Amino acid sequence: MKIGVLALQGDFAEHARMLASIGVEPVEVRLPVDLDGISGLCLPGGESTTMRRLIDRWDLRQPLLDFAATGAPLFGTCAGMIVLSREITGGEDPILPLLDVTVQRNAFGRQLDSFEADLTVPVLGDQPMHAVFIRAPIIDRVGPGVDVLARLDDGRVVAVRERNVVATAFHPELAGEPRFHRLIATMAAEHDDPGEGAGRRPHPTRRAGLPR
């Protein structure tokens, strides 16, 4: 199976390495044509302002939205999460408004530019997850269709899933933490072959807007 990594800017090489380490073939996505034949997509950490510019320069916005509408999984880390969010605190326009959350960029301020924490992520098992935060955003608002996957000790939300879109404020790809990438690979396999595993279910896009 092939999973793409948006390779315009940021730590896409680390995502590609992580995918390869779990037996998935990574594909660098720079142009719309690169989306053909991939079963999921990672959006890396980096600088969301630069990613916004490059997404528009290479006419990727609509092709990325069309790819998401197929129900294939998307996974954004840090800047990648900002790219996927419906609202950005402070009034910046959203980029790919696929995830019904409001994010605040650089939410931890200058004092705490980067830090590490051990998180509990119940959907990924009992073992604590070591999380690396770098000039990280925080999730200020979570819409009704969004599942919270992890919080900091103070309750602030740092990992979410809405249907086929998963996002973390931190960087599993930098911490040698494969569980989120495995989740995406499992979602991608189910999307490719909905008869497998959990059985036939309505296509995720058809469930959009329904209460859960």
Is 149 an interacting residue with respect to ligand GLN (CB under 6 A)? no
> Among residues 14, 87, 162, 173, which one is catalytic?
173
DSSP 3-state of 80: helix
CA-closest candidate to residue 171, choices 116, 106, 90: 116
- List CB contacts of 170: < 8 A, sequence separation 6 or more: 77, 78, 117, 119, 131, 132, 133, 136, 158, 159
State the DSSP string of 84-133. Answer: HEEEETTSPPPSS--EEEEEETTTTTTTTSEEEEEE--GGG-SS-EEEEE
Select from 105, 163, 181, 191 the one that contacts ligand GLN (CB under 6 A): 105
Select from 24, 41, 42, 79 the one that contacts ligand GLN (CB under 6 A): 79
Smallest gap from residue 203 Cβ to ligand GLN (A) = 31
Candidates 17-25, 58-66, 78-86, 94-102: pick the segment binding ligand GLN (CB under 6 A). 78-86
Is 71 an interacting residue with respect to ligand GLN (CB under 6 A)? no
> What is the total count of residues that contact ligand GLN (CB under 6 A)?
11
- List CB contacts of 142: < 8 A, sequence separation 6 or more: 100, 101, 148, 157, 160
Smallest gap from residue 152 Cβ to ligand GLN (A) = 16
Cα–Cα distance between 25 and 43 in angstroms, integer? 16
Tokens 């296509």 locate to 203
Candidates 14-22, 65-73, 74-82, 190-198: pick the segment binding ligand GLN (CB under 6 A). 74-82
User: Which residues make beta-bridge pairs with 150?
Assistant: 159
Select from 15, 16, 26, 48 the one that contacts ligand GLN (CB under 6 A): 48
Q: 173 an active-site residue?
A: yes
Is 45 an interacting residue with respect to ligand GLN (CB under 6 A)? yes
Select from 26, 46, 71, 76 the one that contacts ligand GLN (CB under 6 A): 46
> Among residues 14, 42, 78, 162, which one is catalytic?
78
Q: Residues, the chain, total?
A: 212
The residues annotated as belonging to the active site are 78, 171, 173
Question: Would you tell me which residues interact with ligand GLN (CB under 6 A)?
Answer: 45-48, 78-79, 82, 105-106, 134-135
